[in-house]
């Protein structure tokens, strides 16, 4: 990098609630960065009753208290983002760990070198054989949601592919990152797990806490023409420590909350009924076949010898079942509510 270029100041936005399991590791990895400019940590907490706030203070974080009746992961993150003051915004989760001391420099380098680049994300999740089964699966495939993976809308690339394989048009491969042109109607699910943005651009996005969702910010920016992005050849650790059944419960909550309950507030959806019907049908066939996800698992196992690859057929079926039941339940509820409204009107 040109010596005349100055490293910009950074604000780190984190949402927490009873996050003591991983928060110290997360904040320690941030504070230990080899980064020469100012760095602030803003934590929006939704009523933790464990040691979360004690840990946050130990690492000199600014704590914003969110009323418990309002709090959820995205709302809290929106509150934290609003309080950030520095030039660069870094959004990480409490269970993310920066894997080495030069991570922040690597992530911000594209924005310093190229003024057209609006933000950056890591290319892959960090993989380690000592991680939990689900975390290894997530790292190997580039995410935990098989639907997102099948639609190729993941923000992280799995280890099945060596060359760039995410959504967007590859403009140029550089030493440390890929420069990519994004399209508003075909965005990967950007914004979580180590996402960098020029904070000055947030004025072009809806960042009110009640409308906040990390992916939707990128939709807002892309529609305004801010579409040049960098995928950095680096990783980030994601320690969900989930087991299979708790993972499915969490995915059920996500689809209920963010796809159905809050759908009027959203600007992005993994499944777009206008463009993704054939892809959804393809996913159903893929999952029910069992053979096709098993073949993908075998391809992966040849590259990295880890039996976590073979969780894929079970994940595909589990998500198909959870999403299917949730969708049917919401459909029945809407019919029931519409019927009640009609009866009430006639009365």
Instruction: For residues 306 and 252, state if they share a domain.
Output: yes
Query: Is the separation of the CB atoms in 56 and 45 below 8 Å?
Result: yes
Of 44, 68, 97, which residue sits at a domain end? Answer: 97
- What pLDDT score was predicted for residue 345? 35
Is residue 184 scored above 80 in pLDDT? yes
Give long-range contacts, CB 8 A cutoff, 24+ apart: 295-298.
296/160
Mean pLDDT of 128-138: 96
Distance CA 231, CA 196 (A): 10
End-to-end CA, the chain: 72
Top-confidence residue, 254 or 137 = 137
Instruction: For residues 62 and 108, state if they share a domain.
Output: no
Among 320, 318, 310, residue whose Cα is nearest residue 281: 320
Instruction: For residues 228 and 170, state if they share a domain.
Output: yes
Residues in the chain: 347
Query: Is the separation of the CB atoms in 127 and 235 below 8 Å?
Result: yes
Of 75, 97, 119, which residue sits at a domain end? Answer: 97
Of 37, 72, 97, which residue sits at a domain end? Answer: 97
Distance CA 259, CA 147 (A): 14
Going by pLDDT thresholds of 50, 70 and 90, the confidence category of residue 211 is confident
Instruction: For residues 87 and 124, state if they share a domain.
Output: no
Going by pLDDT thresholds of 50, 70 and 90, the confidence category of residue 226 is very high
Distance CA 201, CA 291 (A): 45
Residue at 342 is within a domain: no
Residue at 66 is within a domain: yes
Residue at 284 is within a domain: yes
Joined tokens for residue 90: 């870094």
Is residue 154 scored above 50 in pLDDT? yes
Top-confidence residue, 191 or 264 = 191
Residue at 347 is within a domain: no
Instruction: For residues 92 and 103, state if they share a domain.
Output: no
- What pLDDT score was predicted for residue 267? 85
- CA geometry: angle at 92 spanning 87 and 96, to 5°? 140
Instruction: For residues 325 and 203, state if they share a domain.
Output: yes
Is residue 151 scored above 70 in pLDDT? yes
What letters, b where the CB count within 10 A reaches 16 and e where it falls short, cover 179-193?
Answer: bbebebeebbbbbbb
Instruction: For residues 130 and 179, state if they share a domain.
Output: yes
Instruction: For residues 73 and 161, state if they share a domain.
Output: no
Strand-pairing partners, residue 13, are 42, 91
Mean pLDDT of 210-236: 96
What letters, b where the CB count within 10 A reaches 16 and e where it falls short, cover 17-41?
Answer: bebbebbbbbbebbbebebeeebbb
Residue at 188 is within a domain: yes
Distance CA 27, CA 12 (A): 10
Instruction: For residues 88 and 136, state if they share a domain.
Output: no
3 Cβ contact list (under 8 Å, min separation 6): none
Instruction: For residues 76 and 173, state if they share a domain.
Output: no
Residue at 344 is within a domain: no
Residue at 341 is within a domain: no
Count how many domains the chain has. Answer: 2
Mean pLDDT of 124-143: 97
Average model confidence (pLDDT) across the chain: 93
Instruction: For residues 133 and 80, state if they share a domain.
Output: no
Going by pLDDT thresholds of 50, 70 and 90, the confidence category of residue 12 is very high
- What pLDDT score was predicted for residue 227? 98
Mean pLDDT of 117-140: 97
> Which CATH number belongs to the domain containing residue 83 in this structure?
3.90.550.10
Distance CA 39, CA 11 (A): 6
- The parent domain of residue 64 ranges over 7-97
Instruction: For residues 151 and 250, state if they share a domain.
Output: yes
Q: What is the pTM of this model?
A: 0.91
Residue at 210 is within a domain: yes
- What pLDDT score was predicted for residue 338? 56
What letters, b where the CB count within 10 A reaches 16 and e where it falls short, cover 100-124?
Answer: eeebbbbbbbbbbbeeebbbbbbbb
- What pLDDT score was predicted for residue 344? 45
Mean pLDDT of 82-90: 98
């Amino acid at each position: 990098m040109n010596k005349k270029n100055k490293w910009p100041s950074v604000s780190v936005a984190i949402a927490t609630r009873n996050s003591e399991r991983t928060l110290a590791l997360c904040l320690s990895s941030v504070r230990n960065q080899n980064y020469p400019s100012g760095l602030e940590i803003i934590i929006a907490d939704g009523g933790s009753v464990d040691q979360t706030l004690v840990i946050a203070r130990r690492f000199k974080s600014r704590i914003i208290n969110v009323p418990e009746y309002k709090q959820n992961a995205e709302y809290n993150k929106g509150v934290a983002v609003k309080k950030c003051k520095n030039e660069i915004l870094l959004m990480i989760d409490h269970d993310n760990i920066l894997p080495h001391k030069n991570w922040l420099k690597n992530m911000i380098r594209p924005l310093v070198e190229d003024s057209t680049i609006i933000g950056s994300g890591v290319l892959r999740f960090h993989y380690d054989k000592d991680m939990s089964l689900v975390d290894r699966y997530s790292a190997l495939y580039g995410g935990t949601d098989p639907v997102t993976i099948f639609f190729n809308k993941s923000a992280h690339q799995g280890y099945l592919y060596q060359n760039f394989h995410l959504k967007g048009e590859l403009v140029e491969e550089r030493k440390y990152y890929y420069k990519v042109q994004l399209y508003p109607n075909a965005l990967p699910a950007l914004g979580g797990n180590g996402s960098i943005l020029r904070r000055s651009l947030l004025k072009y996005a809806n960042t009110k806490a009640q409308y906040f969702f990390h992916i939707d910010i990128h939709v807002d920016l892309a529609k305004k023409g801010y579409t040049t992005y960098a995928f950095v050849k680096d990783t980030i650790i994601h320690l969900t420590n989930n087991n299979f059944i708790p993972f499915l419960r969490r995915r059920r909550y996500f689809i209920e909350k963010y796809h159905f309950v809050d759908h009027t507030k959203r600007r992005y959806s993994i499944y777009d009924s206008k463009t993704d019907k054939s892809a959804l049908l393809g996913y159903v066939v893929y999952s029910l076949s069992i053979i096709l996800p098993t073949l993908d698992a075998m391809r992966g196992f040849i590259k990295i010898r880890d039996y976590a690859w073979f969780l894929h057929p079970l994940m595909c079926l589990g998500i198909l079942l959870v999403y299917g039941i949730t969708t049917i339940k919401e459909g029945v509820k809407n019919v029931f509510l519409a019927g009640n409204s009609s009866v009430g009107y006639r009365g």
